[in-house]
Amino acid sequence: MNLDETIIAVSAPRGSSFKTLIRICGPCSFNGCQRVFELPPVRMLEKRQFFLRHQSVPILVAAFGGDQSYTGQDTVELQCPNNPYLVERMIQHLINETGGRLAEAGEFTARAFFNGRLSLSEAEGVCATISASNDAELKGATLLREGALASRVEFIATTLARTLGLVEAGIDFTDEEDVVAITKEELTQEVKKCIQSICAILDNNISMVSLHALPLVVIAGKPNAGKSTLFNALVGFDRVVVNSEEGTTRDAITERVHFGTREAELVDIAGIEQSVNAVSDAAQKKTASMMQKADVVLYCVAPQQTVPKACSNYLVIHTKGDEEHSKDGAISAVSGQGIDDLKESVTGRLGQQLNPNEHALALLGRHEQLLVEAKRCLEQAEMDVRVPELAANSLRNALNAIGGITGQVTPDEVLGEVFSSFCVGK
């Protein structure tokens, strides 16, 4: 990765939006772009015309100096019409004028890291934010991106560096009887302080992987039990077709729903019935599989239908409370009767959601491994306080492990693995 080259990429998600964003970063970004369109004053967004050979394209342009940009280098960002052919021509023209190249995956954020704009854990938070698929995962990624972990391990790193310096100074002045850089008691106290700080992070941490999977809530029951109507009521709009004819739902339909503060995958499945052909047999197998792995099954029972045998993950719901012969306490997905109480019941079944915060950080597996390694090294240093050379070696190893989180002493192969997981343009 050459930081002295100018890089160019589309920095907006692929899709069918009317506009997209092209980002140009590097030493030749200002001069090269100036040959294509007039640059506005830095940190100002202004309209310009992008001149191609036989046409001009209306764009919005913003320029950022190295001390003001995300990457720490001169950067130009332009918004243009999202036509793939046009965008490709514009990028190629910019490459020709700047002498640059297409950016690699994660290269913009990598430059921000190498230029001291982000710590490594903050850079990983950028990637985690982009790939977050639910609210809890986004909260954990945001804390990581905003430096919650970096600030906590920075204290540990500073303490370790100072303590290691004193221990090594003591070794250098070992022949001077009246010079004591740090006593064994002070060394033990500093090491214990760092161990406690690491334990505070590890004991309360939430695995980022565990935030990815949402609990599964399945709506089940016999045909015409009001499952699809209930599904629409919980989702908040008419997501599935509702019909009095049996067997309308054949495949599992999924939407994300909040039960109180708890986010879950809500699934409407085919009605439970005898298989009569290959299609219904496949639907019944899918239904049985979804019910088995669900965290909560909302088993709908319409008037005059039989109640199923008790099962640990079943929550039996009597439906169609607005119809004749309905059971006392039955809900009505049409009028909304009992829906709020049902949501509270589901929330209670799902339990407490893991909620990342400044005291319970969401960590990537790499972070947890490095913290465990640092703790092990510090425990070894605590055992070696009477032998300064051994204690210094253990402190240095602990500092290296912490540096793997901040990126200050991270091997190149680790950096390559981290940034290769990004998408191009970030």
Query: Domains of the chain, with CATH numbers?
Result: 7-103 (3.30.1360.120), 121-205+360-420 (1.20.120.430), 216-350 (3.40.50.300)
CA 352 – CA 363 distance, rounded (Å): 19
Q: Quick count: other Cβ atoms within 10 Å of Cβ 48?
A: 18
Q: Are 50 and 80 in contact (CB under 8 A)?
A: yes
CA 181 – CA 174 distance, rounded (Å): 10
Please tell me the predicted confidence (pLDDT) of residue 402.
92
- The DSSP string of 238-307 is --S---SSTT---S-EEEEEEETTEEEEEEE-PPP----SHHHHHHHHHHHHHHHH-SEEEEEE-TTPPP
CA 41 – CA 44 distance, rounded (Å): 6
- Comparing CA positions, the residue from 116, 119, 142, 118 lying closest to residue 130 is 142
Beta bridge pairs of residue 216: 265
CA 294 – CA 272 distance, rounded (Å): 15
Please tell me the predicted confidence (pLDDT) of residue 414.
45
Please tell me the predicted confidence (pLDDT) of residue 227.
87
For helices 184-204 and 365-383, the axis angle rounded to 10 degrees is 160
CA 198 – CA 376 distance, rounded (Å): 10
Calculate the alpha carbon distances from 75 to 20, 115, 358 in Å. 16, 14, 32
Q: Are 173 and 179 in contact (CB under 8 A)?
A: yes
Give me the helices (H) in 173-183, please. Answer: none
Please tell me the predicted confidence (pLDDT) of residue 15.
76
Please tell me the predicted confidence (pLDDT) of residue 31.
93
- Comparing CA positions, the residue from 242, 213, 214, 238 lying closest to residue 300 is 242
Please tell me the predicted confidence (pLDDT) of residue 424.
65
What is the distance between the terminal CA atoms of the chain, rounded to a whole angstrom? 15
Please tell me the predicted confidence (pLDDT) of residue 420.
62
- Comparing CA positions, the residue from 154, 144, 189, 110 lying closest to residue 423 is 110
CA 314 – CA 55 distance, rounded (Å): 65
Calculate the alpha carbon distances from 2 to 140, 216, 322, 382, 406 in Å. 31, 46, 69, 42, 21
Please tell me the predicted confidence (pLDDT) of residue 193.
94
Burial of 108: CB neighbours in 10 Å, binned 0-12, 13-18, 19+: buried
Beta bridge pairs of residue 58: 49
Mean of the per-residue pLDDT values for the chain? 85
Please tell me the predicted confidence (pLDDT) of residue 413.
45
Please tell me the predicted confidence (pLDDT) of residue 136.
84
Q: Characterize the bridge pairing of strands 296-301 and 216-221.
A: parallel
Q: Quick count: other Cβ atoms within 10 Å of Cβ 174?
A: 12
Please tell me the predicted confidence (pLDDT) of residue 28.
94
Q: Are 244 and 224 in contact (CB under 8 A)?
A: yes
Eight-state DSSP code of residue 358: T
3-state secondary structure of 279: helix
Please tell me the predicted confidence (pLDDT) of residue 237.
85
Q: Which amino acid is at 80?
A: C
CA 372 – CA 256 distance, rounded (Å): 35
Q: What is the pLDDT along the chain (426 residues), one digit of tens a residue?
A: 788 899 999 988 877 789 999 999 999 999 999 999 999 999 999 999 998 877 889 999 999 999 999 999 999 999 999 999 999 999 999 999 999 999 998 899 999 999 989 888 898 888 888 888 888 888 999 999 999 999 999 899 888 888 888 888 777 665 555 555 678 899 999 999 999 999 999 998 888 887 887 889 999 888 888 888 889 889 888 877 665 555 555 567 888 888 887 888 899 988 887 766 777 777 788 888 888 888 899 999 888 888 888 888 898 889 888 887 778 888 888 888 888 888 988 888 887 667 888 888 889 889 999 999 999 999 999 999 888 889 999 999 999 999 988 887 544 544 454 456 556 666
